[in-house]
Amino acid sequence: MKSLRNCLRRAKRRPGIFLFIALITFALTYLEQYNPWTMANASLSFFKGFDYVAFLSNLANSTIEFFKTPKVAFLTIGAIALVLFAVCFLLGIIFSGFFNQLSNATFDKPKRRREYRVGIGRYTFKLAIYFFIVIILTALVVIAILYSAIPAIMSVKQFFLGSAGMLLPTILLVAVSAVAVAFAFLFFALYVTYILPSIIFFRRGGTGVAFRMVNGYCWYLLPRTLAYMLVMLGIRVVLWIIHYGLSSQAAAICILVATWMIRTIINFAYAYFVFNSFSAMKGDMFDVE
């Protein structure tokens, strides 16, 4: 309750923090719901004809074909990298002021004029590099997870094709794969998440500090991060079940507004938790020395 009261008190003192999260959440929710791919495919029927192994096989073959002309491939990768960094630089401008405000609120610093502008000047380039690296690493981690799931997927496929003796091995393989993937992605998400407040607060060595924090306090941080991810995943599953309410324009608007409001509250609570827990861990690790 005390933590909740502090959260509401800080939100009242700096209403721009909640407003920023609400605006960003609305933009992302709108783009998720009304992009052409979602409108055409985002329902459970999508998985009926989806061949997971064939999809990954086609992806691998496309990659091989892409690199058969190395010069064109590297020029294309370079161009994509430049565009990606430009996008990340824009994200750095947008988010640097917000994270400066959130950091100041978390550490109970007095509110000052031009906090947002000061944050842009201080953190834009650092956040641009952060977003650039995180996007690339996330893509690599997701690809690795997709391919690591192939044995479990094949085992399930064999079982449904009539291999009755595969029941126990299938259950064990799926369980082990699911736990391994969940822990791998959870720890990756934790490291990426806590690097953010660390590079905002520390001029140098922020990444190393974030790793030490996550390693030292992982059993406190894991349940809350897992709960956040499961809730957000659950919301998306429900949206896929109802196809975002797109069968009716009125229903789609209601679903959009409801999803936006729920996600805004959850995102605000989790952002506050990350920066508040970072503040507490920093106190344990440094202030007592």
- The CA angle 269-92-104, to the nearest 5 degrees, is 50
What pLDDT is recorded for position 102? 86
What pLDDT is recorded for position 31? 93
Contact 14, 105 (CB under 8 A): yes
Contact 253, 185 (CB under 8 A): no
CA distance 226 to 124: 29
Mean pLDDT of 129-146: 91
**pLDDT tens figures, 58-86:** 888 888 888 888 888 899 999 999 999 99
CA distance 279 to 202: 12
For residue 209, with 0-12 CB atoms within 10 Å meaning exposed, 13-18 middle and 19 or more buried, which class applies? Answer: buried
Q: Which amino acid is at 54?
A: A
CA distance 83 to 279: 35
Kindly tell me if the per-residue pLDDT of 245 is higher than 90. no
Q: Provide the mean pLDDT of the chain.
A: 84
Residue 258: other Cβ atoms inside 10 A: 13
Q: What is the CA radius of gyration of the chain?
A: 22
What pLDDT is recorded for position 126? 92
What pLDDT is recorded for position 289? 43
Kindly tell me if the per-residue pLDDT of 1 is higher than 60. no
CA distance 104 to 112: 9
Most confident of 31-40, 150-159, 227-236: 227-236
What pLDDT is recorded for position 207? 86
CA distance 278 to 102: 12
Q: Which of 57, 80, 73 is nearest to 146 (CA)?
A: 57
- pLDDT bin (cut points 50, 70, 90) of residue 7 is low
What pLDDT is recorded for position 264? 94
What pLDDT is recorded for position 288? 46
**pLDDT tens figures, 249-267:** 888 899 999 999 999 999 9
CA distance 171 to 35: 36
What pLDDT is recorded for position 152? 72
What pLDDT is recorded for position 164? 57
- pLDDT bin (cut points 50, 70, 90) of residue 172 is confident
Token pair listed for 117: 């502008």
For residue 274, with 0-12 CB atoms within 10 Å meaning exposed, 13-18 middle and 19 or more buried, which class applies? Answer: buried
Contact 56, 147 (CB under 8 A): yes
What pLDDT is recorded for position 244? 86
The total of structural domains in the chain comes to 1
CA distance 30 to 260: 8
Kindly tell me if the per-residue pLDDT of 226 is higher than 60. yes
Residue 96: other Cβ atoms inside 10 A: 24
Mean pLDDT of 208-212: 88
Q: Which of 89-93, 166-170, 174-178 shows the lowest mean pLDDT across its residues?
A: 166-170
Q: Which amino acid is at 264?
A: T
- pLDDT bin (cut points 50, 70, 90) of residue 8 is low
Range of the domain at 249: 2-287
Higher pLDDT, residue 154 or 65: 65
Give the Å distances, CA to CA, from 181 to 47, 173, 214, 217: 20, 12, 18, 20
